[in-house]
Amino acid sequence: MFRNKNYLLHVLLSTLLLSLLLAAGCLNQPREQEGKREKETPPSTEVATYVGSEKCSGCHKEIYNQWKETMHAKSLQQKGWDKFELKGDFTAGKLDYKAMKEGGGRLVDIVLHEDGTVTIGEKDYKIFGTYGGWDEWKQRYLTKDVDDPIREGNIYILPIQWNQKTEEWVPYHADEGHGEPSKKNWWRPERTFEKNCSGCHNTGLALKWNADGYVTDYSYQEFNTGCENCHGAGSLHADNPSPENIINPAKLAKKAANEVCGQCHSRGKSKPEGLFGFPWKETVGNDGRYKIGDDLSEYYTEGGGYWGEDKNGDGRVSLEESVASQKHHQQWWDFMTTAHYKSDSKNAPKTCFSCHSPHDDGFQVGDKKFSLEQVRNNELCLECHQDRAPFNGARHHFGDSKYTAHANIRCTACHMPRTAKSAVWDEKGLGDIHSHRLNVIPPSYKEVYNMPTSCIECHTNATDEQVEEMIQIVKEAKKE
């Protein structure tokens, strides 16, 4: 009996001791694991969700108010919004261009109505939203009235465009036709807004698509380009406003910093199948949008649209073969070819926002702001270049020669000629978008590539020899 009591006491003591050890282990283990998690996976926007720009205004009110007036914030407008406005002349009635054909080849009338309804053939289309209409470019018009067999409510861009500078209506893919049985028509599934435009114009985008690559499900946090398109999803930062919980593009490495702008200021297709006209990693599925800081080349292929020569004979002018962009919204491709981007100098402006103010439509160098007029007066460029060469003196533009009539011309006129078109080419053959190559394009390129050059802004008969003389004068001036 005594032995049994001792045995029982021994078992109870052993059990108690084991329980204490296990409890100590259980208490210590979470602390070790928690510390390990914090070390291996610091706070990251990778797991954050999108909250919308208005959420950011609570702490960043001044920046938010600046952003609200930018084209990022107002390029897309929906009917009923404060800034919704039909800039085009909807009193024009029947348009006089004959580009729209029914499936059998019959020309179809396009008739505009003052209430914003557009009649194409026998069907009326209501405008629910607009794209553009700011500055002196263009405005296009969004409708959901297409009988889309893929998804009810897909957004389409009507085959009309209002050019603001010339105040005229022009076709927008109207020549592609209107009705059945032609598969090539302006409202075919390949031409939805969701498939071609949403990746850059919406924030917090999510997509699903079918086997043919047509979008079947579409949602977003914000209809325009908001704060989180450049800073990443912001829910963690909103809950805990630590700098570690949000991405500051200014602190990224040069390549990644420029790709923040490059995700939209470029032209290309998603990977790997090219289903969308914007960066998207298709293998990830509906969450395949570009993540700030990732390698953009994993999401996107370069899409062409340049002036130059097809040196390798593949039927297209590549970035390496090209002289400058011919199409718009591809400033990033251009900028990557520049000495600014490639320079090893610590003082070289290596990012888009070295010159462009990221939170408004202005310009900057460091903390110093510049207006568009100051840029045109060379003040922004001289902020960096005044100590390196006589860039604002008579010697820079045909200096001490017989070609001095236009001394002190704008830096951008020669180094950023208007080679690309968003809406119109002017009477000189110049577009309405500046090249971002920062290279002088000599007069002979007009003959060789039938493209705009640096000289035709002011001269009708400039020669390559004159440009070469100018370059030599500048080189000599730098030595003084």
- Contact between 419 and 307 under an 8 Å Cβ cutoff? The reply is yes
- Is residue 60 predicted with pLDDT exceeding 80? yes
Among 234-243, 358-367, 455-464, which is the least confidently predicted range? Answer: 455-464
Q: What is the mean pLDDT of residues 83-92?
A: 96
In this prediction, residue 397 has a pLDDT band, given cuts at 50, 70 and 90, of: low
Indicate the helix (H) or strand (E) that contains 474.
Answer: helix 464-479
Q: What is the mean pLDDT of residues 371-396?
A: 75
Of 220, 213, 335, 215, the residue nearest 275 (C-alpha): 213
- Contact between 154 and 146 under an 8 Å Cβ cutoff? The reply is yes
Q: What's the pLDDT at 390?
A: 54
Q: Is 475 exposed, middle or buried (0-12, 13-18, 19+ CB in 10 A)?
A: exposed
Q: What's the pLDDT at 391?
A: 56
CA 117 – CA 128 distance, rounded (Å): 10
Of all residues in the chain, what percent carry a pLDDT higher than 90?
67
Q: Is residue 436 part of a domain?
A: no
Q: Is residue 400 part of a domain?
A: no
Residue 412 CA: distances (Å) to CA of 98, 142, 280, 428: 39, 35, 34, 17
Q: Average pLDDT over the chain, rounded to whole?
A: 85
Q: What's the pLDDT at 441?
A: 94
Count: domains in the chain: 1
pLDDT tens figures, 180-201: 767 788 999 999 999 999 999 9
pLDDT tens figures, 402-449: 444 444 578 888 899 999 999 999 999 999 999 999 999 999 999 999
Q: What is the mean pLDDT of residues 55-66?
A: 96
- Is residue 120 predicted with pLDDT exceeding 70? yes
- Is residue 175 predicted with pLDDT exceeding 50? yes
pLDDT tens figures, 199-218: 999 999 999 999 999 999 99
In this prediction, residue 452 has a pLDDT band, given cuts at 50, 70 and 90, of: very high
Q: Is residue 348 part of a domain?
A: no
Q: What's the pLDDT at 23?
A: 42
Q: What's the pLDDT at 396?
A: 62
Strands 118-120 and 110-112: antiparallel
- Is residue 259 predicted with pLDDT exceeding 90? yes
Tell me the residue range of the domain where 96 lies.
76-191
Q: Is residue 203 part of a domain?
A: no
Of all residues in the chain, what percent carry a pLDDT higher than 70?
84
In this prediction, residue 5 has a pLDDT band, given cuts at 50, 70 and 90, of: very low
CB-based contacts of 443, cutoff 8 Å, min separation 6: 453, 455, 456, 459, 462, 463, 464, 467
- Is residue 9 predicted with pLDDT exceeding 50? no
Q: What's the pLDDT at 42?
A: 42
Q: Is residue 376 part of a domain?
A: no
Q: What is the mean pLDDT of residues 139-168?
A: 96
CA 41 – CA 51 distance, rounded (Å): 22
Residue type, 179: G
Q: Is residue 115 part of a domain?
A: yes
CA 156 – CA 169 distance, rounded (Å): 18
Among 189-193, 305-309, 374-378, 406-410, which is the least confidently predicted range? Answer: 406-410
Q: Is residue 273 part of a domain?
A: no
- Is residue 367 predicted with pLDDT exceeding 50? yes
- Is residue 463 predicted with pLDDT exceeding 50? yes
pLDDT tens figures, 27-56: 333 333 333 323 333 444 448 999 999 999
Q: Is residue 63 part of a domain?
A: no
Q: In what order do the strands lie in the sheet with 118-120?
A: 110-112, 118-120, 123-125
- Is residue 136 predicted with pLDDT exceeding 50? yes
DSSP code for 111? E
In this prediction, residue 471 has a pLDDT band, given cuts at 50, 70 and 90, of: confident
CA 372 – CA 353 distance, rounded (Å): 15
Among 22-26, 107-111, 350-354, 441-445, which is the least confidently predicted range? Answer: 22-26
In this prediction, residue 479 has a pLDDT band, given cuts at 50, 70 and 90, of: low
| Terminal-residue alpha carbon distance, the chain | 112
- Is residue 1 predicted with pLDDT exceeding 50? no
